[in-house]
Amino acid sequence: MKMPQIKINFKPLFWEALSLFIVVIILHCMASAYHLYWKIYEFDSILHFLGGATLSLFFLWLYFYSGLFKPRNRKLKDFIVIALLGSVSIALFWEIYELIFKRYMVQISDYPYDLTMDLIMDVLGASVGFLYGYMRELEILKGEKTKNNEQS
């Protein structure tokens, strides 16, 4: 039995998400090597913001553009739901992971503040990601409309 072939589309948003992911990895490696999480007060928040944006772009690409799904609607509310649901889900799993396996990283007295800031920055980053993703969608729709007008 032959498996159906799925053609994955790497445009748009994939390369943006991958580029941001690489930036996050580099910054995290630098922060770990040079103890930047402890030396720079809100370095963790910057990475959560970038992580939220990265996840937002990735989930938008995966759902709307990769070719793996067949979305019926590509409206603003759909972009918001996919971006925020995907990003916040991963952010919550990450916070649970940190709570269980990295208790020594954050003092218990600081945990509520750290958790709140992490989730706020994740959501802010995801919001910027979905806004960028939706602006790209509007560009695509404008290009398709122009192409259709030229053909008729």
- pTM for this entry: 0.88
Can you give the three-state secondary structure of 14-36, one letter per residue?
HHHHHHHHHHHHHHHHHHHHHCH
User: What backbone torsions phi and psi does residue 2 show, to the nearest 5 degrees?
Assistant: -90, 130
Minimal CA–CA distance to 132: which of 69, 86, 89, 83? 83
Reading the chain (152 residues) residue by residue, the pLDDT tens digits are 676 677 788 889 999 999 999 999 999 999 999 999 989 989 999 999 999 999 999 999 999 999 899 888 889 999 999 999 999 999 999 988 888 877 656 566 677 888 899 999 999 999 999 999 999 999 988 988 888 888 76
